[in-house]
Chains A and B, each alone.
Chain A
């Protein structure tokens, strides 16, 4: 009885990729099967045609283009990686900056606060004294004016 066609193994037989038993089975089958012989011839020709393809002509500038592209991509990757690493800390950095500014602006301790109050009190007191002084001066000027004859001040009288 004629054995089933060994078609799937024909390609592997061409490449010598079969076990000795499979190889013998294919060769035995080929002796008696015209259809498989023709198929094998086609596969052989296709393989030869594909393998005859000449090598591809690469542009002489290809390497320099690749390296320029690589340098630019590497730099981009570096900055984007840095950005990616840094971004989660941005929010915390903002919060930390606000806290720092608040701490610097706030009086450091009670003594400093007391000093600030004292300075303010002294300033207020000296302002008050200056005001009293000014009022005294104004009073003297007024008294002097009233003691003078009325004609000297253009008819000024009480």
Chain B
């Protein structure tokens, strides 16, 4: 749930206060971008989808009734935008089958405090992780991104995706297991370092 401050910012945004909207953007933009990137793995499209997500959220913010956390409400809009995007990409890939893959795009993160080699390793692992995430079925990807990237509780995931708790547990297990299989070389590398 959000704090009283968050609530005040949301109420001001509902009244059309654009400074409050700007504050909401700075509070949630990074999480929304990260969520979208994990869902679509297409760096070039992330900002456009995030922008559209916020615009739609502000146009509909009067309907937000504080029943769920604001971020969940925002992520639901982002999820719908990602689905629309993936549907368009699917249609485009049928029309242009040889177009460049989204996996080739660069990924930019906020942490500049790393040396070049560490950065390279991190980028490589991030790229592998995002590529592996992208190959998961949508329902498994959603639950894994929400739990492990966005740190949602099981209850919040169940509420956001309208699933039962048992479904959240079993899908999260399947998602992690599937991801472990796809990232086997990286996990073994880590194990060797650890031993």
Contacts and interface: CB of A to CB of B under 8 A. Distances in A.
Contacts of A11: 169, 172-173, 176-177
B148 A74 contact: no
A12 interface: yes
Interface string B153-195: 0100000000000000110110011011001001100110000
A69 B59 CA distance: 11
B59 A73 contact: yes
Interface in B132-162: 144, 147-149, 151, 154
B170 to A, nearest CB: 5
Is chain B's interface secondary structure helix, strand, loop, or mixed overall? helix
Interface stretch (A53-61, A95-103, A122-130): A53-61
A110 interface: no
Interface stretch (B3-11, B17-25, B77-85, B89-97): B17-25
Nearest to B58: A70
The interface size bin for chain B is 35 or more
A77 interface: yes
Given A45-B180, A65-B51, A66-B25, A54 B110 contact: yes
Given A12-B169, A12-B172, A63 B187 contact: no
Contact of B173 (A7, A50, A54, A55): A7
Contacts of A137: none
A57, A58, A73: residue with the most chain B Cβ atoms closer than 10 Å: A58
B154 A15 contact: yes
B173 A49 contact: no
Interface string A34-63: 000001011101110111011111110011
B22 A67 contact: yes
A56 B33 contact: yes
A67 B154 contact: no
Given A8-B173, A56-B33, A46 B187 contact: yes
Nearest to B151: A51
Contacts of A67: 18, 21-22, 25
Contacts of A10: 173
Interface string B95-123: 00000000000001111000000000010
Contact of A62 (B50, B59, B110, B172): B50
Interface of A: 7-12, 15, 17, 39, 41-43, 45-47, 49-51, 53-59, 62-63, 65-67, 69-70, 73-74, 77
29 contacts: A7-B173, A8-B173, A9-B169, A12-B154, A15-B154, A15-B172, A39-B177, A45-B190, A45-B191, A46-B183, A47-B148, A49-B187, A50-B148, A53-B149, A55-B31, A55-B34, A56-B30, A56-B33, A56-B34, A56-B46, A62-B50, A65-B51, A66-B51, A67-B21, A69-B52, A70-B55, A70-B59, A73-B59, A74-B59
